[in-house]
Amino acid sequence: MNAQAFLYFLISLMILMWSANFIIGKMALREFPPFLLSVLRLELAGLFLAPVYWFKCRAGIRKLRGPDVALLAVLAICCVGNQILFVIGLSRTTVAHSALIIATGPIFVLLIAAFMKLEKITPLKIVGMLIALGGVAVLVQQSYTQPGSGDPSGQPTLAGDALTALASTAFSVFAALGKKATERYSSLAVNGFAYVAGGAMLIPVLLWQGSGFPFARVSPAAWISLVYMALFPSVICYLIYYYALSRISASRVTAFIYLEPVIATLMAVAFLGERVTAQLVAGGTVIFAGVYLTERG
């Protein structure tokens, strides 16, 4: 296998692992409370990244200055917020809604970058954002009209969609500020610090949340799901993502990322029994069109 083919293999694997994260997250939520699951995921991701961060980035750590420490601390807070809001949001909406709302991330990144005067908003970008928001409105309308069931995680809800949107916003702040941080430090250093520092901040929360939880009753499948969420989408996928960005353009990588909501939805239909409705297809199509115009504008 040549280098180019191997790169595209890694990107395809990354998209598959990110897509599967929605399904595996749903499975883990059957046995873990959402808040505890998100904290455990962050702690494990921090443990997985800590050795890599230390051996690859310890020279850079010694050069940290006051403003850089503050910036990296904000990034760690955004990382924590994204992870917690994503899992709690996933517990209250469907995989399809969660994946499609996460797909609007480039719009939030653009708005934040424009506010920081790092990007310019063109008329075409404005049109794209409005179209994408129209697609989100279609999804939200479904959250109001879809009949309820006994399981709040098996149906779209306004609260779940809103929490997922907040998770996407937190990640977008991380991505926008991360561009500034990577001017001085590597992507690995920025991500490693975010997870390691975020995990350290959450140790008291872990002790509080886990004190009364019956860990002995958790099945091996749920533990494996937790490890998967911490290791593959949180660590390995981001390492592949930044490796890919160092070799091909961001637009070519993004073209693959568009497949994530589609694959996640198909997986949800196959493994979780979720339904594909006309509103879901319409909303997803409009969102894709809007995000595409925004990125090309």
Mean pLDDT of 289-296: 79
Is the distance from CB of 179 to CB of 118 less than 8 angstroms? Answer: yes
Q: What average pLDDT does range 195-211 have in this prediction? A: 91
Burial class for 34, CB neighbours closer than 10 Å (0-12, 13-18, 19+): buried
pLDDT score recorded for residue 80: 92
All residues at 6 or more sequence positions from 59 whose CB lies less than 8 Å from its CB, including other chains: none
Question: 193: domain range?
Answer: 3-296
How confident is the model at residue 188, as a pLDDT?
76
pLDDT digits (tens, 9 = 90+) for 36-47: 999 999 999 999
Q: How many domains does the chain have?
A: 1
Tokens of 92: 């209250």
Residue range 23-75, pLDDT digits in tens: 999 999 999 999 999 999 999 999 988 887 777 665 555 566 666 778 888 88
**Predicted local distance difference test score (pLDDT) of residue 148:** 46
Instruction: Return the pLDDT at 210.
Output: 92
pLDDT on residue 149: 43
pTM score: 0.86
269 has a pLDDT exceeding 80? yes
**Between 146 and 255, residue with greater pLDDT:** 255
Say what the pLDDT of residue 28 is: 96
- pLDDT tens string 101-151: 888 887 877 788 777 776 778 888 888 888 888 888 887 776 555 544 444
Quote the CA–CA distance of 251 and 249 in Å, as a whole number.
Answer: 5
CB 249 within 8 A of CB 94: no
Mean pLDDT of all residues belonging to the chain: 83
Distance, CA of 226 to CA of 128 (rounded, Å):
36
